[in-house]
Structure 1
Amino acid sequence: MANSDNDVLLIYDNSSPRFSFINVDPLALERSLRPSLGLDSPPFSYNQTFLLTRNSTAPGEGGGRTRGFSFEFEGMSFALFGQFSPTMRDRALHGQFFVSPPLSEGRHNLMFEVAEEWKIYLMLDYAVVTGGQKGQYNKAALVVMDDGTSEEVFYWGQWTPRTFGLETLNIPIYLPHQNNTRRTTTIGTGFRFRFSGTSIQVYGVKDMDRPGAYNLTWILDDGGLQGVTYRVSAQEASDNTSKFAAPEYHPHWPMMSFSSLEPMVHTLTVNLTYIEGETQGFIFDYMAYQPTFSFGWEAVVQVVGVGSVQ
Structure 2
Amino acid sequence: MNAILLIGHGSRDPEGNQELLEFARSVAAKSPDTLVETCFLELTGPTISEGIAACAARGASRIVLVPIILFAAGHAKIDIPMAIDRAKAKYPEIEFVYGRPIGVHEKIIEILQSRLAEAQPVAAVAGAGRGAVSEAEVSDQDTAVLVLGRGSSDPDANSDFFKMTRMLWEKLPYAWAESCFIGVTRPSYPEGLERCLRLGAKKIIVLPYFLFTGVLIKKINDMTLEFAEAHPEVQVEIGGYFGFHPRLVELVLERVHEGLHGRVFANCDNCQYRLVAQEHHHHHHDHDHGHDHHHDHDHDHHHDHHHDHHHDHHHDHEHTHNTADQAAKKVNGL
Q: TM-score, normalised by structure 1?
A: 0.24
TM-score norm. by structure 2 comes to: 0.23
Of Structure 1 and Structure 2, which has the larger fraction of its residues in helix?
Answer: 2
Larger C-alpha radius of gyration, 1 or 2?
Answer: 2
